[in-house]
Structure 1
Amino acid sequence: MGEISVQVCYALPDRQFLKALRVQEGMTLRRAIELSDLLQVVPEIDIDTARVGIYGKLKTLDTVLRDHDRVEVYRPLIADPKDARRRRAGKKAREA
């Protein structure tokens, strides 16, 4: 088996984590996150409950990576997007 290149990223409001890795073909998304040291840098991440993806598409932790994948760990939403849209729509209706 050969090696592939992947990136692991995580964004916070004030900083970001981005690490390029060379890993063995057949590597899972979970293992790449573990090898990136992200869980040591941002210990509040619970990898078992965090939403993860590749290039903006949600994936499972057992997804096998391909060359040049960007593994993304997503932060929990602070507000429900539907509620936020309703509040904005209500505010615009009151202003009109």
Structure 2
Amino acid sequence: MIIEVVRAWPRRSSAVTLDLPEGATVAEAIAACGLPLDGITGQAVFGERVAATQVLRHGDRVELLAPLLADPKEARRRRAVAPKR
């Protein structure tokens, strides 16, 4: 089955397409992708967080998740009080 593993950084991203056997898990896809795993705190399939034991299906996209750099609520508060240009 064909799946894609994606890793994003600020201003760039990398994607690897893999051909894995039926029944492969997210953990197996991550191990086979060859992308740097430093700073990864989780994984998702099409934007939905999943366990590493999740079995993949043909066409799935595994996303490697990094921690948030800022609290979204706090960032929105700062933008709301910032002077308008």
Identify which of 4, 7, 21 aligns with 1:10.
7
Structure 1, unaligned runs of 5 or more: none
RMSD between aligned residues: 1.6
Comparing 71-80 with 11-20, which one deviates more in the overlay?
11-20
Deviations 1:35-89 (A, max 9, x none): 1111xxx25245xxx1210111111111110110000001211100011111112
Find the structure with the greater CA-based Rg: 1
Which secondary structure does the structure 1 equivalent of 2:62 belong to? strand
Q: How far apart are residue 17 of structure 1 and its match?
A: 1.6
Instruction: State the TM-score, normalized to the length of structure 1.
Output: 0.77
Contact 2:39 2:67 in 1 (8 A): no
The amino acid of 1:85's aligned partner reads: R
Instruction: State the TM-score, normalized to the length of structure 2.
Output: 0.86
Q: Which residue is equivalent to 2:38?
A: 44
Which secondary structure does the structure 1 equivalent of 2:29 belong to? helix
**Seq. identity, %:** 37
Structure 2, unaligned runs of 5 or more: none
Structure 1 segments, 4+ long, off by >6 Å, are none
Which secondary structure does the structure 1 equivalent of 2:44 belong to? strand
- CA separation of 1:43 and 1:71: change in aligned 2, threshold 3 A: closer
Identify which of 70, 76, 82 aligns with 1:85.
76
Bigger fraction of residues in helix? 1
Output the CA distance in 1 between the equivalents of 2:48 and 2:15: 18
